[in-house]
């Protein structure tokens, strides 16, 4: 069993196939029972119910599926559900699902009885390499994403890559984008592992997926350890996210999966970095080739550049001199690079005209 400590009291444990023998694993990790499981309606029949029964828990509490349900109302429902099930302080709860479930349940755990311990069993690639690791939890408001939340790390993140076998291919590819991001930030050899055409989970063996996610998590853990509250180095994880978030928001979160929008954002960041001689042509080709191998992204064709740029201006990272971007360099990233709205508009139009 591979274990990566993130910060005190927050570690990631890799155990392919662990969902079916979760009881034994929690015993090994000294987690007290009972553990109350929360999942969503899609993941429940695939993995959630199995996880709950393997730890001898009552059937899992189910959230509705979708980003729209990452909201206050569900936090309240989850807390009320725990109260009804007699979950008390010192007991542990467990989130089984993608980033929506881990963010929502982690936040509920943070506020329930002023905070109870929780575990995460992420079941999407994005949640394994990103959302479940690092302790950020929270929900959306009508006005925007992730506007309410706190740091409340899960004591253990159990990574069972075999749960990815049921993940739709498009979700898997979108998750690979975050692995590419992690690779560029801190482990260029990981790009070599990802250097192959991807046709769903079955195209790679579970051991290969585990090798990929262990390395990506190691990068995230290192960044988080250096800067838990995003005062400095943790900003590196925003590579591709300034434009990515704007693209998602300008299209109402319907057309692009998060990873797909971030893929466009990383291409834009690479072009800007190339224009400033921060990134060599060969390194830019390497980064874009890694993204291209995932197959075509939803196009930017009919998006209005001004509308997209307008969505950046409400981003919390804006200040008067432009927006602070993370830009790729040949061997990592640089933070806080001022990029003006004119430059962003220009690179966006360039990407529309010449996406390759
Ligand atoms: N806390 C953080 O640091 C952090 C970091 C990155 C992203 N996030 C958040 O994560 C969320 C996105 O997470 P996501 O991409 O996992 O989306 P998601 O949770 O919506 O999952 C995507 C879809 O896959 C389904 N699914 C999950 N596991 C499955 C499986 N094994 N088989 C089949 N279907 C499965 C889900 O039900 C959902 O329909 C966003 O809300 C984002 O803000 C948080
Ligand atoms: Zn992201």
Expressed in angstroms and rounded, the spacing between residue 341 Cα and the centre of ligand 1 is 30
Average of per-residue pLDDT values in the chain: 94
Rounded to an integer, the average pLDDT of 66-82 is 97
Which pLDDT value is given to residue 261?
Answer: 98
Task: Say yes or no to pLDDT of 316 above 50.
Answer: no
Sorting pLDDT into bands at 50, 70 and 90, what band is 315?
Answer: very low
- Residues having CB within 6 Å of any atom of ligand 1: 40, 42-43, 46-47, 65, 67, 70, 97-101, 103, 123-124, 126-127, 130-131, 134, 136, 145-146, 163, 166-167, 171, 258
Cα 351 versus chain centre, distance: 25
Which pLDDT value is given to residue 314?
Answer: 52
Are the C-beta atoms of residues 240 and 269 closer than 8 Å to each other? yes
Structure confidence by residue, pLDDT tens digits, 121-180 = 999 999 999 999 999 999 999 988 899 999 999 999 999 999 999 999 999 999 999 999
Question: Quick one: DSSP state of residue 130?
Answer: I
- Prior bond of 34 cis (ω within 30°): yes
Active-site residue among 178, 210, 248, 284? Answer: 178
Are the C-beta atoms of residues 331 and 188 closer than 8 Å to each other? yes
Which pLDDT value is given to residue 313?
Answer: 59
Sorting pLDDT into bands at 50, 70 and 90, what band is 320?
Answer: low
What residues have CB less than 8 Å from 301, skipping those under 6 apart?
352
Task: Say yes or no to pLDDT of 293 above 50.
Answer: yes
Closest listed ligand to the CA of 105 = 1
Structure confidence by residue, pLDDT tens digits, 205-225 = 899 999 999 999 999 999 999
């Amino acid at each position: 069993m591979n274990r990566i400590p993130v910060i005190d009291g927050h570690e990631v444990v890799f155990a392919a196939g662990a969902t079916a023998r979760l009881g034994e694993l929690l015993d090994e990790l000294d987690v007290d029972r009972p553990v109350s499981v929360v999942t969503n309606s899609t993941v429940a029949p695939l993995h959630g119910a199995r996880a709950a029964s393997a730890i001898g828990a009552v059937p899992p509490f189910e959230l509705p599926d979708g980003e729209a349900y990452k909201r206050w109302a569900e936090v309240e429902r989850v807390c009320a559900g725990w109260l009804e099930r007699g979950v008390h302080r010192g007991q542990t709860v467990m989130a089984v699902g993608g980033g929506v479930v881990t963010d929502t349940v982690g936040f509920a755990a943070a506020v329930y009885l002023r905070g109870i311990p929780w575990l995460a069993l992420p079941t999407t690639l994005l949640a394994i390499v990103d959302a479940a690791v690092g302790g950020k939890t929270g929900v959306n408001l009508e006005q925007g994403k992730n506007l309410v939340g706190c740091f409340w790390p899960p004591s253990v993140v159990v990574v069972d890559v075999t749960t990815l076998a049921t993940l739709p291919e498009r979700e898997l590819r979108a998750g690979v984008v975050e692995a590419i991001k992690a690779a560029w930030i801190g482990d260029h050899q990981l790009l070599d592992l990802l250097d192959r055409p991807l046709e769903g989970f079955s195209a790679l063996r579970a051991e290969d997926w585990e090798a990929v996610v262990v390395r990506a998590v190691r990068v995230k853990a290192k960044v988080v350890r250096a800067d838990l509250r995003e005062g400095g180095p943790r900003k590196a994880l925003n590579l591709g996210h300034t434009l990515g978030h704007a693209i998602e928001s300008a299209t109402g979160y319907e057309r692009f999966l998060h990873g797909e929008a971030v893929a466009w954002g990383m291409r834009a960041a690479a072009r800007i970095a190339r224009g400033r001689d921060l990134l060599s042509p060969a390194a830019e080709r390497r980064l874009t080739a890694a993204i291209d191998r995932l197959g075509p992204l939803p196009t930017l064709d009919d998006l209005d550049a001004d509308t997209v740029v307008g969505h950046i201006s409400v981003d919390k990272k804006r200040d008067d001199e432009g927006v602070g971007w993370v830009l790729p360099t040949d061997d990592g990233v640089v933070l806080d690079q001022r990029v003006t709205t004119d430059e962003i508009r220009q690179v966006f139009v360039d990407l529309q005209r010449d996406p390759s």
